[in-house]
Each structure stands twice: as C-alpha cells, then as structure tokens.
Amino acid sequence: MHNIQLAATQIVQQVLVDGRNLNQVLDESLRRKSVWTPAQRAALQDLSYGTLRFYGQLNAVLDLLLHKHMTDNRITYLLLVALYQLQYSKAAKHAVVDHAVRSADILNPKIRGLVNAILRNFLRTQDALLVQATQKDEGRYSYPQWWIDELRMQYGEHATAILDAGNGHPPMTLRVNRRHGTTADYLARLSEQGNGARLIAPDALQLEKPVSVDKLPGFFEGRVSVQDAGAQYAARLLDVRDGMRVLDACSAPGGKTAHILETADVEMVALDKDEKRLQRVDDNLQRLGLTATLLAGDAATPDVWWDGKPFERILADVPCSATGVVRRHPDIKWLRRRKDIASFALQQTEILHSLWTLLAEEGKLLYATCSIFNQENQSVIDCFLAKHPEARQLPIDLPNGALLPNDAHDGFFYALLQKTA
C-alpha cells in the first residue's frame, strides 16, 4: 500500500504545486509502473482523485493538526493522502498509518515520528476536527473561496447543491447508438447480464454501477458509447437532418460528433486544434462505423482551413473553464484562477464571431460549454447578439440554457442561434 501512497503523493503534489493536469500525471505514473495490477491501478486513481476532490477539507484538517508549517512539502502531501484514506476509504486504519510512516521513512526519515503522531491524533479527535474544519468555506465545501463566492452570487441558495454535486462520484452513462437498436433493446441486454440501468434521456442509460467497457455488450461493435447525459443534449438541440452540411468545430474526443452522425446522415466536418486529440475522434468514429472529414485547425482562424462552403449547422463546443465537470476532473478546482474565467470568455467570443461567418443563411449554431459560470455562457451570447442584428437566440427546453450538475448529468450550458436573412 505504501508504494501506492507514495505514487499518489507525487501525483497530488505535481497537480497542486506544478499546476499539471491530473489525468496526464496519473497516466504517466501508471505507464512507469506497468506491473501494477488492475486493483492497484484503481487504488492509485482513487487516492489521487479523492485527495484532490476533498483537498479543501483535508488541508483545513491538516492545518489544525500541525502546530507549525511543514518545511518538507512531500510530507505535507503524504499526510493529505493518508488523511483521505482514513476519512474516506475502507482500508484498515492501523494499516494506513503504518504505511504512511514507512512512506515517510523513504521521503524523510527524520519526520516519520511526526507523521505517526499526526495521523494517530487525527484518529483520536477526528469528529471534532471535521467540525472545526467546516468553520471556513474552503474546509466545508472543498472549493477555493473565489469559486464559492461566484456561485453564491450567481445562484444564491442553490449554490450549496451545485458545490455538493461537484464533490460526488460521477455516474457512468451510456449513449445507445440508435442505428443499432433502441434504448429499450439495450436496456434488456444489460439486464440479461445483470447490469442494472435506468433510462434518463432518449439515448441515455445510466448504470447502477460503473463497469469496464469490455463488459458492455456490443461496445466494440459500436452499439453503445460512454457519454454523460448532459453532453448528449448537443445532438438533439442542434436539430440536424439528413443531407445537411455540419461542422463540429472543437470536436475532440468525438462523442458529440459521433452522436450527431448516429442521429442523421449528414456531411460532417470534425475540426480540432490538437492533432493528437483528433486521432481520438477518428478512433471513436471507426469503432462506431461512422464517417467524417477530420481537419486539424483552429476554430478561431477558419481562413486557414475552411473551403468556402457554408454549413447549415455548426456545433461550437468551445474551450471553457470546465467548472461543470469537476466531479470527473477534481484538479480543475485547484488549477483554475478567477482571472481564467474572463480569459476563456474572450477566447469563446473570438471563436463564436469566427464561426458565424461560416454559417449559411437560416442555419443554426449551437454554442456549448461545460461551465457553470455565466461570464462564459449567456454573457458571451448577449455580447454577440448585440453586435449581430442578423442573429437571434432560439428558445430551447432548458431553463436559461443551463444544466446544473446533479445525479443525472454534469453541468453544461447551451444556446441555439439562427442566422436570419
């Protein structure tokens, strides 16, 4: 266990100190030690994700336990990982402490006694410490204070539910490929295998328990994909029909591209700035037996890649703060800064203006983010509409265009625009 503790400690430190992406660091760590069993890999992922998910609370508790600042950062992050295990995992308490002491012996033998004392003190006074940690918002909600303040300003009494939803474990949701059968058919196949699921949207089935994709019937034959129910709104709202020319302007990893192609026979152009991520679009389409023209290019500079033929539908799933998907990416909470939101809004505005020129008259553009901050959402749309009298925002079946994170889906924003003659 202590090797997993140490690996998780290094991962958490690289995220919080170096500002690195959690998935990337975790992948690198797993590749370095390919002999780990599936169970060990799952444990490492849980420790890394869990420590970052509850970092605000764990850090508040550690501050209460420490009488002075820890000079060795590595021990700080080891203690945070161990506190996560003691608070949230099913591992035996004495084993967690014992492994943490052994891990400390590797990192800094002089501090092993302190590590032992701190963790045993936590176990003795756990309930009181957790209550004390809630005295500050960061300790109570495990988000940066600026984030909490922003949500309270925008959502008032609903802010707490949004914060709590972001700290939950994400559901595993499937998108049934309607070209291969109905959701009812696939639900029956899952039931035959003992996998419970429920229908939560026209093509979406939410599993009672996550499973590996090789346990999903027909996955490798393209009968089903893994995609959050909130992300599945895009294909429905875009209102595509057979024969249309469609652009998915920021397409990687390809879930929305594929869903559109499963919905209608269209001429699809899938664009992405990152050539490596574009390969994932290609992989997804090949598995599903779907076809699109793949282009590496920047949505903000269409002059470089556009062939001059207008599109009847455009999906602008723009880069954003990803604040609506933090339960899948808990590192986002600690990597984002307040100033980033305004920076994303500028980038989104630039992309929206550029893509608008590619849209045919009477065509529709769907603007999408996985952000829950208004500055990236309706504020961007309002500024755009003020400068484009030929654009109108169409009503969609979502309150204020927003999907706030809950048990059924992550957080998203959608706005459907039409170009009038």
Cβ-Cβ contacts under 8 Å for 5 (sequence gap 6 or more): 47, 78, 81, 82, 85, 99, 100, 103
Is there a single domain that holds both residue 13 and residue 124? yes
The beta-carbon contacts of 379-384 under 8 Å, at least 24 apart in sequence, are 379/345, 380/345, 380/348, 380/349, 380/352, 381/415, 381/417, 383/349, 384/349, 384/352, 384/353, 384/356, 384/417
Does residue 164 fall inside a structural domain? no
Is there a single domain that holds both residue 361 and residue 233? yes
CATH of the domain at 41: 1.10.940.10
CATH of the domain at 319: 3.40.50.150
Is there a single domain that holds both residue 138 and residue 236? no
Query: Alpha helix (H) ranges present in 289-377?
Result: 331-335, 338-356
Q: How confident is the model at residue 34 (pLDDT cuts 50, 70, 90)?
A: low
Is there a single domain that holds both residue 408 and residue 261? yes
Last residue of a domain, one of 142, 163, 185: 142
Does residue 154 fall inside a structural domain? no
Does residue 173 fall inside a structural domain? no
Does residue 39 fall inside a structural domain? yes
Last residue of a domain, one of 116, 142, 168: 142
Is there a single domain that holds both residue 236 and residue 125? no
Does residue 41 fall inside a structural domain? yes
**Separation between Cα atoms, residue 325 and residue 370, nearest integer Å:** 7
Does residue 269 fall inside a structural domain? yes
Sheet strand arrangement including 224-226: 197-201, 204-207, 173-176, 224-226
Is there a single domain that holds both residue 117 and residue 258? no
**Residue 30: pLDDT over 90:** no
Q: For 216-272, write each residue's pLDDT tens digit.
A: 999 999 999 999 999 999 999 999 999 999 999 999 999 999 999 999 999 999 999
Domain that holds residue 258: 229-419
Does residue 390 fall inside a structural domain? yes
Last residue of a domain, one of 142, 159, 178: 142
pTM for this one?
A: 0.94
Residue keyed to tokens 């890394």: 48
Marked catalytic residue, from 250, 320, 370, 383: 370
250 is catalytic: no
Q: Give the rounded percent of residues in the chain with a pLDDT score beyond 90.
A: 94
**Separation between Cα atoms, residue 174 and residue 360, nearest integer Å:** 33
pLDDT reported for residue 2: 60
Does residue 46 fall inside a structural domain? yes
**Least confident interval from 32-41, 42-51, 120-129:** 32-41
Q: For 363-402, write each residue's pLDDT tens digit.
A: 999 999 999 999 999 999 999 999 999 999 999 999 889 9
Report the number of distinct structural domains present in the chain.
2
